[in-house]
Amino acid sequence: MTDFELGAVQERFADIVWANEPIGSGDLVKICERELNWKKPTTYTVLRKLCEKGLLQNENGVVMSLVSKEEFYSARSEQIIEKSYSGSLPAFVAAFLSRRELTASEVEEIQRMIDTFKEG
């Protein structure tokens, strides 16, 4: 997957698209005006940039993602682990757990994920 470097504003915009897609570009302008206090040109500028990055598409006035929200955040998590923890998932988990305790249900859910992975 492409290394999508998004700023906070672009990420918020992508979240709006993901939550509403497929969405007409005119409706997207209205949502961005209401939620982000943007004017029409700002919406179209950010949309164009995210289309150029290959994250979104605007075809015949209908905006859709080319990369799902899940794919995007999964790839982003992998990039963080790679850049900050030399690709070591255990090092990431250790750092995460040093600042936060897991609930019993979280431990059970993670254990189920690990067991499912082991099974195949």
Summarize pLDDT for 7-29 with one digit per residue, the tens. 899 999 999 999 999 999 999 99
Average pLDDT over residues 52-77: 94
How many domains does the chain contain in total?
2
Domain match, 60 and 15 both:
yes
CATH of the domain at 37: 1.10.10.10
Domain match, 37 and 65 both:
yes
Q: Is the confidence at residue 3, as pLDDT, over 70?
A: no
Output phi, psi for 95, to 5 deg: -65, -40
Average pLDDT over residues 90-110: 91
The Cα 110–Cα 63 span in angstroms is: 35
Q: Which residues of 36-52 are buried (b: 16+ CB within 10 A; e: fewer)?
A: eebeeebbbebbeebee
Q: Is residue 76 part of a domain?
A: no
Q: Is residue 83 part of a domain?
A: no
